[in-house]
Chain A
Amino acid sequence: MASIKRRLFQARDHFGCRSISMLQDMVLHDETMLGALMSYLTVQVSELFRDPAYFRAIREKVVPHLKTYPSLKVWIAGCSTGEELYSFAILFREEGLEERTLFYATDINQESLRKAEAGVYDLDRMRLFTENHRLSGGKTSLSDYYTAAYGAATFDKSLRRHVVFSDHSLVTDAVFAETQFVSCRNVLIYFNRDLQNRAVALFADSLSRKGFLGLGAKETLRFTEHHDTFDEFAREERLYQKREAA
């Protein structure tokens, strides 16, 4: 909540309001304000193959398990502008899993979801993304997956063939599918413990027996109610596996 408070005050200043109640007034009277405010209140930072060690661990440790399934459902919860989704799509193609997989990419920020669906990023970010991809154990060249023009990199639409984008809130919405892998990174840090508990309960419900859950580099289940529902699968990389009996 400390983070929300900071951003609310920033939004107040940005929109030229003297007080939070004046900001509230603006939002209630002007529909376009809600989207604008949303962009202030939610943090949208992302990268392709962010924390390469996470994707390397998926490649090396999780993929062998996933290969034993005839079909897979993967949920990217809080996908923001899509970087994490494209990382998964590319990794799954490289590992020969793409054809049997359906990805759900969800977020509460509609504007971000639109960007995720477009798959267009600044060309000058590709250097970092390429390096991340290489460090993640990438087997191909990242440039195989996008076309560059006018300072922008547009990711190949074939990467979206197995993707459903959807508006979904981890705070208010319910489980919508049984999945084998949930990746929810750098979203739970913005939740207090109660909201974290709710979100992780959704993941536990959605995951099939021995399904995998991946979190952000500094996130942990340790301080949630559900740490007993999962085993640490790759501790450093924050990968968990749902327990047999859970």
Chain B
Amino acid sequence: MSARPRKAVVIGASAGGVEALSAVLPHLPPDHCPVLVVIHLPSNRQSVLADLFRDKCRMKVVEAEDKAPIDAGTIYFAPPDYHLMVETAFTVALSNEAPVWFSRPSIDVLFETAADAYGPGLTGVILTGANEDGAAGLRAVLAQGGRGLIQSPETAYARLMPETALSFCSGATVRPLEHLAAELLKGAA
């Protein structure tokens, strides 16, 4: 059993997100703190993301299952059509409740619940997207003493999401896509 880590990274992305994540996730070492990811995808219920990233990454990649413990060295993807949440017991929980910003999974829901659980140990990352989801979530992360990281809008496939996050979170760090992984590793243990 690995000890329950008190550090974690949450990442939210929408339009262009698969490509942006491909520039970040493969750079994370196998013993990195847990990473939880929400990408908006059409909900045809096919869980392709975990399969897509498994071979590219050095961390273990799974689709989140309800009540699974959150372990270091693991990347958790939200299953399509479910909200992904973090419990204060450092387990994941799934939910079918209403979409937020027309999205389920929603980035705000993941970030807000993760901020409650991890507080200052959390880093929230907002990537490309044509949606306003994530901005309120990132603000919650910062409010609990966590760190905020935003992909610079100029390097984003769709700027709306990083721009909205920026306008909500003046305390967040902005980096071009190619520097995001390095920036993440700076704070990680």
Chain A contacts to B: CB under 8 angstroms: 1-3, 5-7, 43, 45, 51, 186, 188-190, 192-193, 196, 217-220, 222-224
9 nearest CB pairs, A to B: A2-B113, A223-B67, A2-B85, A45-B96, A43-B97, A3-B95, A189-B66, A189-B94, A218-B79
> Known contacts A192-B87, A193-B91, A218-B82; is A3 also within 8 Å of B67 by CB?
no
Which chain A residues lie closer than 8 Å to B83 at the CB level? 3
A7–B100 CA distance with the chains assembled, in angstroms: 12
The 24 listed contacts between A and B (C-beta, < 8 Å) are A2-B85, A2-B88, A3-B93, A6-B85, A6-B97, A6-B112, A6-B113, A43-B96, A43-B97, A45-B96, A186-B96, A189-B95, A192-B87, A192-B89, A193-B67, A193-B89, A196-B67, A217-B45, A218-B64, A218-B79, A218-B94, A220-B66, A220-B67, A223-B91
A43–B66 CA distance with the chains assembled, in angstroms: 16
Which chain B residues lie closer than 8 Å to A3 at the CB level? 83, 85, 93, 95, 97
Chain B contacts to A: CB under 8 angstroms: 45, 64-69, 79, 82-83, 85-89, 91, 93-98, 109, 112-113, 116-117
Which chain B residues lie closer than 8 Å to A1 at the CB level? 87-88
Quick check: A7 and B65 within 8 Å, CB to CB?
no
A201–B54 CA distance with the chains assembled, in angstroms: 35
Nearest neighbor of B69 in chain A, beta-carbon distance: A223
Which chain A residues lie closer than 8 Å to B67 at the CB level? 192-193, 196, 220, 223-224
Which chain B residues lie closer than 8 Å to A43 at the CB level? 95-97
CB distance from B70 to the nearest CB of A (A): 12
Which chain B residues lie closer than 8 Å to A196 at the CB level? 67
Which chain B residues lie closer than 8 Å to A222 at the CB level? 65, 68
CB distance from B1 to the nearest CB of A (A): 13
CB distance from B82 to the nearest CB of A (A): 6
> Known contacts A218-B65, A218-B66, A220-B66; is A189 also within 8 Å of B96 by CB?
yes
CB distance from A57 to the nearest CB of B (A): 15
Which chain B residues lie closer than 8 Å to A192 at the CB level? 67, 87, 89
Which chain A residues lie closer than 8 Å to B94 at the CB level? 189, 218-219
> Known contacts A43-B96, A45-B97, A189-B95; is A2 also within 8 Å of B116 by CB?
yes
A217–B112 CA distance with the chains assembled, in angstroms: 25
> Known contacts A192-B87, A220-B66; is A2 also within 8 Å of B93 by CB?
yes
Q: Which of B86, B93, B96, B113 has the most CB of A within 10 A?
A: B96
Quick check: B85 and A188 within 8 Å, CB to CB?
no
Apart from A5-B113, A218-B82, A219-B66, 6 more pairs, CB < 8 Å: A3-B93, A3-B95, A188-B66, A190-B95, A220-B67, A223-B67
Quick check: B88 and A220 within 8 Å, CB to CB?
no
Quick check: A2 and B87 within 8 Å, CB to CB?
yes
Which chain B residues lie closer than 8 Å to A217 at the CB level? 45, 79
Which chain A residues lie closer than 8 Å to B113 at the CB level? 2, 5-6
Q: Which of A51, A219, A223 has the most CB of B within 10 A?
A: A223
Quick check: A2 and B86 within 8 Å, CB to CB?
yes
A155–B117 CA distance with the chains assembled, in angstroms: 45
A6–B87 CA distance with the chains assembled, in angstroms: 12
Which chain B residues lie closer than 8 Å to A51 at the CB level? 45
Which chain B residues lie closer than 8 Å to A218 at the CB level? 64-66, 79, 82, 94
